[in-house]
């Protein structure tokens, strides 16, 4: 293995990234071990005199689920005179009128319920909660997001756990009313279940910081006030307030045996928006609070470490992508990652043990008899979470570079049963530019798999397969789930919907066609430009082990036949080491030397010394060739083709969108003429 050059640098980066990611993985298993030792919480004794409670419902454009939520809250088994309901309505569509009518309906039934509206959405959800606190009358604050359906027993089952005056908040586990809607919702469900039953359960009632999950929980109002109230500086106001409360000495509890059902996002673009908000917000909290946590004298060292991991865990996403990018480059350079033959097998075994294998073990111990169903869901989750790393990495960099916060809500469609359609829903989202990055990584992964195969490193190919399938899966859903153009006109004729489906079907085949074409061109380019140079490197490796000048000359001659005769691929900061003209001249000189050596008596001291010198010189030439390979990947031609390829995809999308807009205008005009 060479001790200099870009290969060594990339290899060291790969190893460092691997160790950092291993720390986060091992911490998950540590929490799983702690969670296994904890039993379910016993039912709390209901207080003789029930305290007053304010229920806050932060809503923004939720006309499909607002009725479901408010009805469920008004069915809570709790005295009306002790219950205040605040509908914190920041809507700017017809949700406003819908909520107003529902609130009026329940006011006539004797409920203390009001619709609170602000002049602007300043601070988004946190701003709405902060505004609601000004008129909150309850000793305790309960929060439900629009996608939740609280059960009637909720308040009475939770309120007794506040017997301890230092109990700041109590959190329930999230359930899923549409878990079996699709493979994607099953992946989302098992991801949230693992979060609650492993990570949250391990931290509950301990010296670790338990994170309030933003909904389906109860806060002591005095805890919120003492901790500084709701802040609007991050996208995860729940984590922000939770950590500040813990640093003030307040306690928290997760009731993992009490489940509050909610609707999972059924559109991939909505799920990506939700994940983006969580990833960006947690990094924002880390930038905001890490110094305070680290310097807090009363916070134990282990708690500080857990808080750091919790706030920064989404940093794993860009680290994962960096590894994904580096591995094929090293394989393409024919860089020796491990000297031992069993090295690749050890890497694959370790990956399986700490990745899918370890998670399946945790699932087996957590769900016991019903673990097989969750194992199937985890199979979906592997591809889903791998595909989302691009989306979440963009979120991480957004936070690190301090881009302006914008709380983009996760649209809810009121979808519960399999087969229900949401595509005509007004809140359906278009795909974003992030999808183009996902397509890039999908194609790069395909190239990486070919690189692993052709470089003789077949055991590394599976490391590329899972994330590549994930990128393809998420990119495909991003297009397939996207709403093109504006919503359907209310008075359009039925033929409009047919035209819409035709236009929608144009986009996906076009993009898939360019994916296939791009993959084919990438493979052809690799086979024509990179693979011959790797062959030359392989022949030079054989020349280094040759025992006679004749063998050495033959391998050098084979290497020359596969190398370019001239040119320097390092078009930026060129060096003589990567000049193929000079490399060929050196190889010609080596052939001449080997011909002269063949005339000498073999196995003499001069002969052996000359062979050793030639082997060393060939090794240097081989290192120079390997150094040139990364520059070929980043050649001006490849960069230009990549830009052109992305531009074509953008052009296809733009053309389809324009066609869609023209059809909408035609349909609208036709509908107006027919009235």
Report the 3 state secondary structure along 143-181.
Answer: ECCCCEECCCCHHHHHHHHHCCCCEEEEEEEEEECCCCC
253 with 191, same domain? yes
104 with 173, same domain? yes
- In this prediction, residue 26 has a pLDDT band, given cuts at 50, 70 and 90, of very high
295 with 356, same domain? no
Tell me, yes or no, whether 667 lies in a domain: no
73 with 221, same domain? yes
256 with 359, same domain? no
The confidence score (pLDDT) of residue 229 equals 97
List pLDDT tens digits, range 58-79.
Answer: 999 999 999 999 999 999 999 9
Tell me, yes or no, whether 12 lies in a domain: no
What interhelical angle do 268-295 and 183-194 show, nearest 10? 20
- In this prediction, residue 4 has a pLDDT band, given cuts at 50, 70 and 90, of low
| Residue 344 contacts residue 39 (beta carbons within 8 Å) | no
User: Regarding predicted confidence, which is higher, 351 or 143?
Assistant: 143
- In this prediction, residue 501 has a pLDDT band, given cuts at 50, 70 and 90, of very low
DSSP state of 483: P
109 with 252, same domain? yes
Domain span at 581: 527-636
> Which span out of 86-90, 430-434, 531-535, 584-588 was modeled with the highest average pLDDT?
86-90
254 with 148, same domain? yes
Q: What is the number of structural domains in the chain?
A: 3
User: Regarding predicted confidence, which is higher, 4 or 281?
Assistant: 281
Close Cβ partners of 75 (under 8 Å, ≥ 6 residues apart): 152
Number of neighbouring beta carbons within 10 Å of residue 633:
19
Tell me, yes or no, whether 313 lies in a domain: yes
State both tokens at 504.
Answer: 């929608």
Tell me, yes or no, whether 672 lies in a domain: no
CATH of the domain at 143: 3.90.550.10
Where is average pLDDT lowest: 186-195, 229-238, 556-565?
556-565
196 with 304, same domain? yes
State both tokens at 505.
Answer: 């079907």
Out of 523, 551, 581, a domain closes at 523
Number of neighbouring beta carbons within 10 Å of residue 495:
10
- In this prediction, residue 19 has a pLDDT band, given cuts at 50, 70 and 90, of very high
According to the 3-state scheme, what is the secondary structure of 460-477?
Answer: HHHHHHHHHHHHHHHHHH
CA-CA distance, 355 to 361, in Å (whole number)? 10
Out of 294, 318, 342, a domain closes at 318
The confidence score (pLDDT) of residue 292 equals 96
- In this prediction, residue 249 has a pLDDT band, given cuts at 50, 70 and 90, of very high
361 with 241, same domain? no
| Collapsed DSSP state (helix, strand, coil) of residue 640 | helix
462 with 483, same domain? yes
Task: Give me Rg for the CA atoms of the chain.
Answer: 31
512 with 622, same domain? no
Query: Over pLDDT 70: what percentage of the chain?
Result: 87
Known catalytic residues are 90, 238
309 with 364, same domain? no
């Amino acid at each position: 293995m060479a001790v200099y050059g870009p290969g060594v640098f990339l290899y060291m980066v790969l190893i460092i990234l691997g160790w950092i990611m291993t720390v986060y993985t091992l911490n998950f298993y540590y929490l799983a071990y702690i969670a296994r030792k904890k039993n379910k919480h016993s039912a709390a004794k209901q207080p003789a005199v029930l305290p007053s409670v304010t229920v806050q419902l932060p809503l923004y454009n939720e006309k499909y689920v607002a009725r479901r939520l408010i009805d469920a809250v008004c069915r809570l088994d709790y005295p009306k005179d002790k219950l205040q309901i605040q509908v914190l309505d920041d809507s700017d569509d017809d949700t406003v009128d819908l909520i107003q009518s529902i609130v009026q309906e329940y006011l006539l039934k004797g409920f203390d319920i009001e619709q609170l509206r602000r002049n602007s959405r300043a601070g988004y959800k946190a701003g709405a909660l902060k505004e609601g606190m000004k008129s909150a009358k309850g000793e305790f604050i309960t929060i439900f997001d629009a996608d939740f359906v609280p059960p009637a027993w909720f308040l009475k089952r939770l309120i007794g756990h506040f017997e301890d005056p230092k109990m700041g908040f109590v959190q329930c586990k999230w359930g899923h009313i549409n878990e079996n809607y699709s493979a994607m919702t099953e992946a989302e469900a098992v991801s949230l279940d693992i979060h609650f039953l492993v990570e949250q359960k391990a931290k509950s009632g301990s010296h670790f910081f338990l994170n309030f999950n933003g909904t389906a929980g109860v806060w002591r109002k005095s805890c919120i006030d003492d901790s500084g109230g709701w802040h609007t500086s991050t996208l995860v106001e729940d984590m922000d307030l939770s950590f500040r409360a813990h640093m003030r000495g307040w306690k928290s509890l997760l009731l993992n045996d009490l489940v509050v059902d909610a609707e999972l996002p059924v559109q991939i673009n909505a799920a990506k928006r939700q994940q983006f908000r969580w990833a960006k917000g947690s990094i924002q909290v880390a930038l905001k609070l890490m110094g305070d946590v680290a310097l807090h004298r009363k916070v134990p060292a282990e708690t500080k470490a857990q808080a750091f991991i919790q706030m920064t865990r989404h940093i794993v996403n860009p680290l994962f992508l960096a590894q994904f990018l580096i591995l094929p480059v090293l394989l393409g350079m024919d860089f020796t990652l491990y000297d031992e033959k069993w090295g690749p097998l050890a890497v694959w075994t370790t990956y399986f043990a700490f990745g899918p294998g370890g998670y399946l073990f945790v699932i087996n111990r957590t769900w016991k008899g019903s673990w097989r169903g969750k194992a199937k869901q985890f199979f979906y989750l592997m591809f889903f979470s791998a595909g989302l790393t691009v989306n979440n990495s963009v979120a991480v960099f957004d936070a690190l570079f301090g881009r302006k916060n914008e709380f983009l809500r996760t649209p809810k469609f009121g979808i519960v049963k399999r087969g229900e359609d949401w595509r005509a829903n007004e809140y359906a989202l278009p795909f974003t530019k992030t999808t183009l990055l996902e397509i890039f990584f999908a194609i790069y992964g395909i190239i990486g798999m070919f690189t692993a195969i052709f470089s003789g490193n077949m055991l590394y190919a599976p490391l590329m397969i899972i994330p590549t399938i994930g990128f393809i899966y998420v990119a495909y859903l991003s297009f397939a789930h996207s709403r093109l153009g504006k919503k359907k006109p209310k008075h359009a004729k039925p033929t409009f919907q047919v035209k819409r489906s035709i236009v929608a079907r144009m986009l996906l085949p076009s993009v898939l066609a360019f994916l296939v074409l791009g993959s084919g061109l990438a493979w052809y380019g690799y086979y024509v430009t990179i693979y011959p140079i790797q062959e030359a490197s392989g022949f030079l490796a054989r020349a280094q082990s040759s025992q006679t000048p004749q063998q050495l000359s033959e391998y050098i001659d084979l290497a020359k036949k596969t190398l370019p005769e001239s040119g320097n691929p390092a078009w930026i900061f060129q060096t003589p080491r990567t000049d193929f003209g000079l490399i060929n001249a050196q190889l010609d000189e080596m052939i001449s030397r080997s011909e002269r050596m063949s005339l000498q008596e073999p196995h003499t001291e001069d002969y052996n010394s000359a062979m050793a010198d030639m082997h060393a010189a060939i090794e240097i030439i081989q290192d120079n060739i390997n150094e040139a390979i990364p520059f070929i990947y980043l050649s001006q031609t490849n960069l230009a083709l990549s830009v052109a390829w992305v531009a074509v995809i953008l052009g296809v999308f733009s053309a389809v969108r324009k066609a869609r807009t023209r059809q909408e205008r035609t349909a609208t005009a036709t509908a107006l003429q027919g009235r």
